[in-house]
Amino acid sequence: MLKKILGLAPRLESDGSYSPSNLALKLATQSKTDFQNIKYDKYQGSRSKILVIFTEQKNLEMQNGKLFSTGNHPVEALVPMLHLRNAGFTFEIATPTGKPAVLEMWAFPEKDDHVNEIYSDLKPRLDRPKKLEEFINLSSSDASAYAAVFVPGGHGAMLGIPEDHNVGKILRWADQQALYTITLCHGPGSLLSTTLEGKKFLYDGYEMAVFPDAVDKKTPMIGYLPGQMPYGLSKKLGGLGAKIKNTKADSTVCIDRKLITGASPQASNNLGKLAVETLLKELP
């Protein structure tokens, strides 16, 4: 009751899940992003497509059994996509089974005109995405049309995607075809899919930026999460050989070979800029 009075209690939703407390929303979300509307020299080559893998699941079970109402973080998805679109790249949007993409709408920056515009533009495709299996069967043979695979962050990126064999196939395909993989925050959970079927972790020895476990452990104190995470993502990736570059949930971005990563929502703008600068420089 005291937590509720102080605004520290996670908010119960109609499906029994919990979204962040009023205090957590004030501390951790923004009505407007730091997106920089840069005018890039647009990419003119043939490799203009980017496959974007969204989650289709909403509720992440905590260690105490409570469900966190999550999905992909809208800033972590849409701000990098704004940069990429402005640089001339186009998107193919997919979810594991073709169900609608799920976003953390409680984190949506309502007063950000740029984010609102691209969300409205993409919404029909977010509501009716491709199936990953369909992409593998129909599109993966034409790697010459693609520049990168992008997996947005948000705790929802840890729902289904790390255990999805098709995600693992796509990330290995991207690596074999020398495409870039772009992800941030909890999105690097997708990289765990490369260990399925007993395979060696594809990113052993890579430097990467990932949302810190230490921060996830503290957020239940302000009601952001309704309990402790099911596992520590940074710890799991580190145990597989990843070299985690950041210790804070900050604007850190990192590039190692064909992997581009960011630490948190605060890294969304920097990640978009780094991805564009890299693709424009490296692509034919």
Query: Does 185 qualify as catalytic in the annotation?
Result: yes
Residue 159 corresponds to which tokens in the numbers above? Answer: 């729902």
Sign of CA dihedral 157, 159, 162, 165: negative
**Residue for token digits 């929802």?**
156
Burial 26-36 (b: 16+ CB within 10 A, else e): eebbbeebebe
CB within 8 Å of 81: residues ≥ 6 apart: 52, 91, 118, 122, 150, 272
Options 185, 191, 249, 279, the catalytic residue: 185
Q: If phi over 0 gives left and psi between -120 and 50 gives alpha, with beta otherwise, what is residue 181?
A: beta
Would you state the structure tokens that stand for residue 228, as one six-digit string? 């402790």
Cα 130-52-181 angle, rounded to 5 deg: 135
What CA–CA distance (Å, rounded) separates 274 from 246?
A: 17
Task: Please state, in angstroms and rounded to a whole number, the distance separating the CA atoms of residues 37 and 272.
Answer: 11
Catalytic residues: 185
